[in-house]
Amino acid sequence: MKALSIPIQMLGQSGCKLSFPDLTLYVDPYLSHSVQEVLDESLVRQVAIQVLPEDVVDANVVLITHEHMDHCDPHTLSKLAQASPQASFIGPKSVIDNLAEWGIEQSRLTIAVEDWMELTVKIRVRAIPAAHPEIVRDSKGHLLCVGYLIDYAGELIYLAGDTFARQEIIDTLNACGPINIAFLPVNEHNFFRSRIGIIGNMTVHEAFQFAQEINAKQVVAVHWDMFAINSVDPDEIRFIHSRMNPGFKLLMNPTYLSLGSTQASIIIRTLNESLHLETLLKSIEAQRVDSINYEVVLVDSGSTDGTLDIAERYGCRIQHITREEFSFGRSLNIGCQAAIGDILVIISGHCVPTDANWLQRICQPILGNQAEYVYGRQLGGSESYLSECRIFAKYFPSESCVPQQGFFCNNANSAIANKVWEQYQFNEELTGLEDMELAQRLQVNGGRVAYVGDAAVYHYHSESWVQIGRRFEREALALQKIMPQMHVDLIDTFRYITISVWKDWIFARNNKTLLVSLTDVFRYRWNQYLGSWRGNQQHRKLSYAEKEKYFYPR
């Protein structure tokens, strides 16, 4: 499998730095205040200069799309050329003429052409027409403004530069093959901008329609952040993407590009998860993956604590489910139905991956055709009860089992092949354990379930004692449907409580954690097993009031 995760540094406007394994490539670097100092003092840059041009010592290739100063800046490029003497420059003829006037050697300059140019063994680039506002060629066929198409190991990255949508551009891109990632400008042309000489580009809607036309899998929105008069609110960009649901992943200021051929959808169920959700989403952004693209789909059941604001800031696609409709299986089915991924990765809104390899590892058994349904390890946090940490240790050990024999599974940290979900779907009537119920049906038909011990998450429960009891009660109620032969009486219940409390206390003593409250140990085990006993005794369909009790906190 190819490692196609490319670090990227966004430089503002349309500028970026792409760090390929054997090539460092800069695109339209604007690393000065030239526009304000030379053209218009009101055009103050809003994006901090990420690196001074004289400190850019790693450039191998610099791509310039056109001669406007915020893309082709003499103060940036002349200093960059001195700091990186190994760098070559590619641009339209008018840009190349300017670079030569600024003292850059002709041997380092190449006119951008509409044919492939090899940069390394694995990387090649070609010019794509850009309409700013129209496609213009001189008498020799040289384009005035260009975008670029980069082919890296068979995966295509489209850097649009400044452009309007034109059929010739769409046709050219479609003829080259499917576009993995498209960098598209979203600072729309309008009267007020044109009045002061700003041409503008596509609207957000138009850019997203353009991306659909070229079948882009991911879109990086650019040209929205540098100057106030020419800016677009990033929340507006995310909102339009959410409402359009265009079928591609939106990237805002990404730190890496994933060029993989496999699409994953990370599905998060939430109800008032603001405490941990931002940490979870930051951890997702930091994941290191090979050959996996991903999106995040959030299914919310009525949050009122800022959960949705956090989700919108991070570009999640948000789905909603009402209290009346809610069950764990139904909310997951809604998320899976909305997802576009080949692999559906499910994680609780109060879980956080322990490291940057979680996503790759939870997907790996499916990618390797070793299983159709996978779940990973769960660990308690620093505030977790000792008894809960012991439960995690029992059911989620460090050793992997790929595939495993039984149908135990847990959707707090799991992944399932989309085609398998489509065939089985989660049971929407159960009060919990929808994961085990699907895994049971899957295994009966010859499917495989796997446990991955190194795909771990911290699982944070912020529950009252009553809520702990209800959680175990609803899970026991669901377990009846899955394993009707399982019966628990009161004698069993009190025996389990006594043994578990004793073993927890012995564990605490042996591990020198005697500061653990014996009262907390007893109360946790009491609510766990008494809740399980209550759930085991019930044999009826839930009323609306009972659903409210089980699914929503009080």
Per-residue pLDDT tens digits of the chain, which is 554 residues long: 333 668 899 999 999 999 998 999 999 999 999 999 999 999 999 999 999 999 999 999 999 999 999 999 999 999 999 999 999 999 999 999 999 999 999 999 999 999 999 999 999 999 999 999 999 999 999 999 999 999 998 899 999 999 999 999 999 999 998 999 999 999 999 898 888 888 889 999 999 999 999 999 899 999 999 999 989 999 999 899 988 889 888 888 887 787 766 789 999 999 999 999 999 999 998 898 877 888 899 999 999 999 999 998 888 889 999 988 889 999 999 999 988 888 999 999 999 999 999 999 999 999 989 999 999 999 998 888 899 999 999 999 999 999 999 999 999 999 999 999 999 999 998 888 999 999 999 999 999 999 999 999 999 988 889 988 888 888 888 888 888 887 878 898 899 999 999 999 888 888 876 566 788 989 999 999 988 888 888 754 444 444 344 334 43
Query: What pLDDT does residue 110 have?
Result: 98
- Identify the domain containing residue 513 by its residue range: 465-551
199 and 175 in a single domain? The answer is yes
Parallel, antiparallel or unpaired: strands 123-129 and 117-118: antiparallel
287 and 236 in a single domain? The answer is no
284 and 201 in a single domain? The answer is no
Query: What pLDDT does residue 515 have?
Result: 62
Amino acid identity of residue 375, one-letter, is Y
Nearest in space to 66 (alpha carbons), one of 135, 147, 138: 147
For the chain, the domain total comes to: 3
Characterize 332-349 residue by residue with b for buried, 16 or more Cβ atoms within 10 angstroms of its Cβ, and e for exposed. Answer: bbbbbebbbbbbbbbbbb
Query: What pLDDT does residue 1 have?
Result: 31
Return the SS3 of 477. Answer: helix
CATH of the domain at 274: 3.90.550.10
Query: What pLDDT does residue 539 have?
Result: 58
Count CB-CB contacts under 10 A for residue 137: 12
In a domain, 256, yes or no: no
In a domain, 106, yes or no: yes
Which residue, 439, 459, 479, sits at the end of a domain?
459
Q: Which residue has the tokens 């069950």?
A: 327
Tens digit of pLDDT for each residue in 203-258?
999 999 999 999 998 999 999 999 999 899 999 998 999 888 898 888 888 877 87
205 and 156 in a single domain? The answer is yes
In a domain, 303, yes or no: yes
Which residue, 251, 279, 314, sits at the end of a domain?
251
Cis peptide before 133, with omega less than 30 degrees from 0? yes
Which residue, 232, 251, 270, sits at the end of a domain?
251
Tokens read off for 394: 């029992």
Nearest in space to 310 (alpha carbons), one of 346, 354, 279: 279
The pTM assigned to this predicted structure is 0.62
Contact by Cβ (8 Å): 198, 185: no
CATH of the domain at 61: 3.60.15.10
Tens digit of pLDDT for each residue in 492-513?
889 999 999 999 988 888 887 6
